[in-house]
Amino acid sequence: MVASVLVYVGIDAVGDGLMKLPFVRALRAAYPAARITWLAGKGQSVYGRSLAPLVRGLIDEVIDEAGIGSRVVELFGPRPLGGRGFDLVIDTQRRGLTSLIVRRIRHRCFVSGTANFLFSDVRPADAAEKPASMVRQLLGLVEAASGRPADSSAMLARDLAIEAEADRLLPPGPCYAGLAPGAGGRIKCWPFERYIALGRWLAETGRVPVVILGPDEHDWIGAVRDRLPQAILPLQQAASVSPMLTIALARRLTAAVANDSGAGHLLAAGDTALISLFGPTRADKFAPVGRSVTALSASGWGRDAIEAIPLTAVQEALATALSCPRPGL
């Protein structure tokens, strides 16, 4: 019986937190009755701040700025966290010194992938075959601890007011398809012109294009409204914007297309069928994990530049995704 779980991270920025959502969901699914503590040993975690509403019910306690995991002196003297103990401690990072320090936290079972699970109390049968995907590596820690395949379908928290706002922005009835043309760097952005062309094709085939534009993409708002008047821009019409709203909107989409971006991870967290586009970044390492994710990488067309992915390939993948029934909300 595992009644308490501690997860150690160094620090979680927004991108880290979005990428780790499948791991958090899988951890709760594996230990539905456990008290889960999230420990940011070297900084802060967004799970205690901007993303806290998303993990309500999944994480019970967040400890920030713990000052654990950096200094050799921590290997000696009092145990970390004042001697608090846990049934299970999961170390998500892979620095040897930090793992040895975290292992000093009182525990019944310690799981860490550092040095091919050298310091771990349990290790998966295929430990030597480390997956390229960072998310899959984290899910492997859950599998090693629980002895079962990871299930990342645990429900994210839902806010009734946000769900009502999502229904106002995307009323039930039409077939909505999402387009998220932005990314943290424009080098990761599939050409905007092709997103517009994809939106026109959606409108011509009876679907409603839903364009997800973040705060750094305001310069595209006018172009979308002028050249794709059939599109809905829900975040520009919302009373307030939050990651929870984007996920709520994603649940109302039949399918979506996004670059390697935070928006892509939010759409995947909403369990919509996602077409994820990659150029210079590696799909096998950074692709979101969700109900249905199809990654298209420019390397498949012999280049690293994302514009190598042809419009026809994305259109075909999106058509396939749209043809599959969308599970109910």
Domain spans of the chain, in order of start: 4-146, 160-322
pLDDT at 328: 54
Q: State CA 176 to chain mean position distance.
A: 21
- What is the torsional sign of CA 300, 295, 277, 170? positive
pLDDT at 324: 80
Average pLDDT over residues 219-237: 97
Q: What would the CATH number be for the domain defined by 160-322?
A: 3.40.50.2000
35-62 pLDDT tens trace: 999 999 999 999 999 899 999 999 999 9
Residue 155: band (very low, low, confident or very high) from pLDDT cuts 50, 70, 90:
confident
- Residue 167: burial class (beta carbons within 10 Å; 0-12, 13-18, 19+): middle
59-76 pLDDT tens trace: 999 999 999 999 999 999
Q: Is the predicted pLDDT of residue 326 greater than 70, yes or no?
A: no
pLDDT at 168: 98
DSSP-assigned letters across all residues of 81-140? GGG-EEEEEEE----HHHHHHHTTSEEEEEEE-HHHHTT-S---TTTTS--S-HHHHHHH
**CATH class for the region spanning 4-146:** alpha beta
pTM for this entry: 0.88
Own/partner pairs for 291-295, CB < 8 Å, 24+ apart? 291/153, 291/327, 292/321, 292/324, 293/268, 294/320, 294/321
Task: Evaluate whether 232 touches 170 at the Cβ level (below 8 Å).
Answer: yes
Q: 328 vs 227, which has greater pLDDT?
A: 227
